[in-house]
Structure 1
Amino acid sequence: MDSVMEENNPDNLDVPLPMDRWIPTEGDSTDPLQDRLYKHQYHMFLCDQKFEKWKKYLQRQFEKEREEILKKYEAKIQELDAPSSPPQKKAKGNSSRDEFFK
């Protein structure tokens, strides 16, 4: 049930994604502008995490819905994909017309 909760709540940041860049912790610098930069970098990292989790969640939902639709309409899809029988060839000459020219 926990995995269902995670799927339904993509905002949950309990499962961290790997950090692709180094983000220093607040207070590493004596410069207030540098500290502010670190805060913004960390905020961007959290936004990236949320975005990736949301993207994966939506991809899973899409795949589930797609499978349900394919199962529901499988017979119709097979009917449309089945090769149709070739059309009957019509005789080139019209029998009444051929008799007229004899």
Structure 2
Amino acid sequence: MRNRGQILVLFVIILPLVLLIAAYVIDMGLIMYEENRLKAINDSVIDYVQGKQEVTEAEIKALIVKNDNKVVTKIIMEEKHITIMLEKEVNSIFGNVLGIKNYQIKSVRSGNI
């Protein structure tokens, strides 16, 4: 009969740890997914810009917003060079336990016009 109590205590201790590990794995997967999306958006915008003679900043921002409207965009256009910085917040599951509500993700790409 004493084994039941020991197993119950083990279950109560291990279950929260398993849930925390699962939340961490889900968070890392979401972060990697969003990071890859930002990189893909940045790469496609740079490819688009390199194929054009003249591109306006508004045209570039419209293309970025068309792909993801929650992205903060900073564009630096110089004479023959462009740098695009994208930033996004991703909600956290695991971080809520630690007091982190969002993760910041950044992607920077440069190219020649």
Same fold (TM over 0.5): no
**Shorter-chain TM-score range:** 0.3 to 0.5
- TM-score of the two chains, using structure 1 as the length reference: 0.41
Q: Going by fraction, where is strand more abundant, 1 or 2?
A: 2
Q: Which has the higher contact order (CA 8 A, sep 6+)?
A: 2
The structure with the largest alpha-carbon Rg is 1
Q: Going by fraction, where is helix more abundant, 1 or 2?
A: 1
